A and B are shown apart, each in its own frame.
Chain A
């Protein structure tokens, strides 16, 4: 399958004036390859928040700013916040899940072929292979992943990624926002220019929330001279300090 695929990365001329700033692969889809990074404060708190010591103030990424927790879950979120130093999986150098990985303050790189999109993250060498072959998720009763299972397809210029098979161990931010293993994330990556992607994610989890909710923010192509992914080997660094 992979090897039978046509080379998918050659640039071809833009197809219309309207999308003239979006590079395309030879199969006509937007070319998302590059090194990208979010520039916001959602890593600390996805909602609006004032500054605190060590925490930059920030306008949230949640549409309408409200996360529609069920009452018990709102109480859990507050407990999580109070105990964040010991409970936050990021503080323990564990995989951050989706969508949190997208707005951690580390760059990531996208590789693209006709059969898959690979997103590789500087943060603890995580990579996600997003299968584009129309295949189904594996049975969530049989297997789960800290980073979920990702299946994608194109809707016009938008890469839509359906992510399921999560654990209940990851959070959305350092403020204790959380979900259950029933989390279902639908990500949308849409180029809005040569150096910008609009990222949107719909969050569904009927065990924790009263309705689906959305986050959105831009991703920026890193412009730094000779920029490349390095390493952030969180637990290796932590253990070296012990």
Chain B
């Protein structure tokens, strides 16, 4: 999304990014591979996931000079962030199958108390993302942005975005920052497991939602992301979410990230807060999400 003169598209960013872009999700990634791409199954995360596991077993990715799979380039989402779980179409929202591939029923395995909390979130609070907050993990990487520039250096992998900030993944063998440091996008440590980039994310602040529907975790959440090239233009993105305070068991989502094949190789920094016009309207009917600790009275 590109802004026009008068600098900021904050109103766009806030009011429309959640909805309008959904219509565009999945517009990229026409595979140039002669082989049929698993990405063609991207609208069905479970089918894509199974296809991707099989394809990853045989695909040999191009490598960087230090021998690791070369994930560099521009990537975009194929799914939207309205609701991780299966949902029908509604006003301005496309239907989408559940991104949850484990458990097999496609449902987030909430503890009993947490389901009403999830429902209360969307009814009571503004999606934090709509107030120009960083989106948290996995939302910011897995199904939120249409243009992510993935950078690889020997010690770092960086995800750079024009409209959703950035993430830096340290590939160095150092422990997570201290537990008193809480971060919207968490603290990321990466390693290679064969051809898969595995990212361990801790220290999130419990103030982000997984989606517009109010699906949530606490600040204790531990996310393990796995990014695997399954053909030249498709990344199999998986995130396993573990939070014993909110869920009965760890659960996993899967989505395709596809190479952005457009000729536009630039990333323009989009203002959000600077021109943000709609927060007052949003906050006239919904409150600010206080984060897990307060929301559940802990």
The docked-state distance in angstroms from the alpha carbon of A106 to that of B133 is 19
Task: Verify if A220 is at the interface (C-beta below 8 Å from B).
Answer: no
- B250 interface residue, CB < 8 Å from A? no
A125 to B168, CA, bound (A): 11
Q: Which residues of A contact B175 (CB under 8 A)?
A: 226
Using known A-B contacts A2-B72, A120-B160, A228-B170, determine if residue A125 contacts B269 with beta carbons closer than 8 Å: no
**Closest B residue by C-beta to A120:** B166
User: Do residues B267 and A129 form an inter-chain contact, with CB atoms below 8 A?
Assistant: yes
Is A144 in the interface zone, CB < 8 Å from B? yes
On chain B, the residues within 8 Å of A233 by CB distance are 133-134, 184
Residue of B181, B269, B274 near A230 (CB, 8 A) is: B181
How far does the Cβ of A100 sit from chain B's closest Cβ, in whole Å?
14
In this assembly, does B27 line the interface, its C-beta being within 8 Å of a C-beta of chain A?
no
* Interface set, chain A 1-19, CB cutoff 8 A to B: 1-3, 7, 9-10
CA distance A146 to B161 in the complex (A): 16
Question: Inside 8 A of B74's CB, which chain A residues have their CB?
Answer: 2
Residues from chain A with Cβ under 8 Å of B174 in the complex: 226
Interface residue ranges of A196-242 to B (CB < 8 Å) = 226, 228-231, 233, 235-236, 239-240
B144-171 CB mask vs A (1 if < 8 Å, else 0) is 0000010111101010110001101010
Assess whether B269 is in contact with A33, with CB atoms less than 8 Å apart. no
Convert A85-128 into 0s and 1s, putting 1 for each residue whose CB lies closer than 8 angstroms to a CB of B. Answer: 00000000111000000000000010111010010100011111
Q: Is B177 an interface residue (CB 8 A)?
A: yes
Q: Which of chain A's residues have a CB closer than 8 A to the CB of B153?
A: 9, 33, 111-112
Q: Report the minimum CB–CB distance from A195 to chain B (whole Å).
A: 16
Decide if the interface of chain B is mainly helix, strand, loop or mixed: loop
Cβ-defined contact, A143 with B269, below 8 A:
no
B50 at the interface (CB under 8 A from A): no
User: Is A7's CB under 8 angstroms from B64's CB?
Assistant: yes
The answer on a CB contact under 8 Å between A144 and B65 is no
Q: Is the CB of B5 within 8 A of A142?
A: yes
**Of A7, A133, A169, which is within 8 A of B7 by CB?**
A169
Report yes or no: B66 in contact with A231, Cβ–Cβ below 8 A: no
Check: B15 CB closer than 8 A to any chain A CB: no
How many chain-B residues does the 8 Å CB contact rule pick out?
48
* Contact yes or no, A145 B269, CB < 8 A: yes
- With known contacts A111-B153, A111-B156, A228-B170, A10–B65 Cβ distance under 8 A: yes
CB-CB under 8 A from A125, the residues of chain B are 134, 165-166
Say whether B7 contacts A146, CB under 8 Å. yes
How far in angstroms is the closest Cβ of chain A from B151? Answer: 5
A131 located at the interface, meaning its Cβ lies under 8 Å from any Cβ of chain B in the complex: yes
Is B5's CB under 8 angstroms from A129's CB?
no
Contact B5 A144 (CB under 8 A): yes
Contact B73 A9 (CB under 8 A): no
Task: Please indicate the chain B residues that have their CB under 8 angstroms from the CB of A3 in the complex.
Answer: 70, 72-73, 259
* Binary interface encoding of chain B residues 267-291 relative to chain A, with 1 for a CB under 8 A from any of its CBs, else 0: 1110101100000000000001000
Q: Is B37 an interface residue (CB 8 A)?
A: no
Nearest residue, chain B, Cβ from A225: B174
The answer on a CB contact under 8 Å between A167 and B168 is no
Q: Check if B151 sits within 8 Å of A118, measured CB to CB.
A: yes
- Give Cα A129–Cα B165 distance, bound, in whole angstroms: 12
Contact across chains for A94 and B273 when beta carbons are under 8 A apart: yes
A-B contact pairs, 29 of them (CB 8 A): A2-B149, A3-B259, A10-B65, A26-B65, A94-B274, A109-B168, A111-B160, A118-B158, A125-B134, A125-B165, A126-B269, A127-B161, A127-B165, A128-B269, A129-B149, A129-B267, A133-B265, A135-B266, A143-B5, A144-B5, A144-B6, A144-B7, A145-B268, A146-B8, A169-B7, A226-B174, A230-B183, A233-B133, A239-B288
Q: Measuring CB to CB, which residues of chain A are less than 8 angstroms from any residue of chain B?
A: 1-3, 7, 9-10, 26, 33, 93-95, 109, 111-113, 115, 118, 120, 124-129, 131, 133, 135, 141-147, 149, 167, 169, 226, 228-231, 233, 235-236, 239-240
The 9 closest A-B pairs by CB, nearest first: A125-B165, A7-B65, A3-B73, A10-B65, A129-B267, A111-B151, A7-B64, A167-B7, A94-B274
Q: Which residues of B contact A (CB under 8 A)?
A: 2-8, 64-66, 70, 72-74, 131-134, 149, 151-154, 156, 158, 160-161, 165-166, 168, 170, 174-175, 177, 181, 183-185, 259, 265-269, 271, 273-274, 288
Given A127-B269, A226-B174, A239-B288, 8 other A-B residues pairs in contact with their CB atoms under 8 A: A120-B168, A127-B160, A129-B149, A143-B3, A145-B269, A147-B269, A231-B134, A239-B131
